[in-house]
């Protein structure tokens, strides 16, 4: 499949990688365009418009179109002492990108995972997980409190954990829509 990609320079490397993983070729002459919200879509082509704050619907569509079938049932986490653990989605409180690594945080501890945060965004069940900042994806099922914070931000607290995570102001609107308010 060939697509024309119209997006910001910040989003472009990520989308190029995601498209390449699914066997999609970027071609400026393609009849189908993937357009970031806020950019003018070409009037003479079929366009798929996405919002850069929520790539999940675009990833779901690309997976269906490419026939990708990933096993999303397992999270393989690694402790510091090189032990590996299989973690169910229900146990995951959130995923955090820190430095060059991504961590799955549970009530029992932190596990380093192989995949990057944007890869998890495409693999996790969209009914339970939502991106809340550039560094975090949370499991809404394990959120016990949502507190208003300075500058239109929100703070999330989790079941069985003292960790708090901030919903950045760029993601607050999508987060509220996800919750239905």
CA angle at 167 for the pair 164 and 147, rounded to the nearest 5°: 60
| Signed CA dihedral, 8, 31, 27, 119: sign only | positive
Architecture of domain 75-179: Beta Barrel (2.40)
Residue 137 reports pLDDT greater than 90: yes
CA distance 52 to 61: 15
For residue 126, the model assigns a pLDDT of 87
Copy the structure tokens of residue 171.
């993601």
CA distance 51 to 92: 26
3-class secondary-structure state, position 65: helix
DSSP annotation of 93: -
pLDDT above 70 as % of the chain: 94
Mean pLDDT of 137-154: 91
For residue 72, the model assigns a pLDDT of 52
Tens of pLDDT, residue by residue over 5-31, are 999 988 888 888 888 877 889 999 999
Mean pLDDT of 129-145: 95
Task: Compute the residue count for the chain.
Answer: 181
For residue 165, the model assigns a pLDDT of 96
For residue 62, the model assigns a pLDDT of 78
For residue 82, the model assigns a pLDDT of 67
For residue 143, the model assigns a pLDDT of 96
Residue 103 sits at φ, ψ, to 5 deg, of: -125, 140
CA distance 46 to 34: 9
CA distance 142 to 88: 13
pLDDT averaged over every residue in the chain: 87
Contact status, residue 124 vs residue 142, Cβ threshold 8 Å: no
Got the DSSP string for 97-134? EETTEEEEE-SS-EEEESS-HHHHHHHS-TTTEEE-SS
Mean pLDDT of 161-174: 92
For residue 66, the model assigns a pLDDT of 66
The domain ranges of the chain are 2-66, 75-179
Copy the structure tokens of residue 97.
């990108």
Q: Distance between alpha carbon 90 and the CA centroid of its chain, in Å?
A: 17
- Helix-, strand-, coil-residue percentages of the chain, each rounded to 5: 25, 35, 40
pTM of the entire predicted model? 0.62
Tens of pLDDT, residue by residue over 51-101, are 887 777 887 787 777 665 544 557 888 877 667 888 889 999 999 999 999
């Amino acid at each position: 499949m060939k697509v024309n990609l119209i997006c910001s320079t910040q989003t472009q490397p990520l989308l190029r990688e995601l498209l390449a993983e699914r066997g999609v070729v970027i071609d400026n002459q393609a009849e189908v365009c993937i357009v970031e919200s806020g950019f003018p879509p070409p009037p003479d082509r079929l366009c798929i418009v996405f919002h850069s704050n929520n790539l999940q619907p675009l990833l779901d569509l690309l997976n269906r179109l490419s026939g990708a079938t990933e096993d999303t049932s397992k999270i393989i986490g690694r402790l510091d002492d090189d032990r590996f653990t299989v973690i169910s989605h229900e146990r995951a409180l959130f995923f955090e990108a820190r430095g060059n690594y991504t961590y799955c945080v549970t009530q029992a501890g932190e596990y380093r995972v192989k995949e990057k945060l944007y890869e998890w965004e495409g693999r996790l069940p969209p009914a339970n997980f939502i991106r809340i900042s550039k560094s975090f994806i949370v499991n809404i099922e394990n959120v016990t409190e949502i507190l208003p914070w300075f500058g239109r931000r929100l703070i999330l607290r989790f079941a069985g954990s003292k960790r708090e995570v901030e919903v950045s102001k760029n993601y607050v609107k999508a987060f509220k829509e996800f919750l239905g308010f």
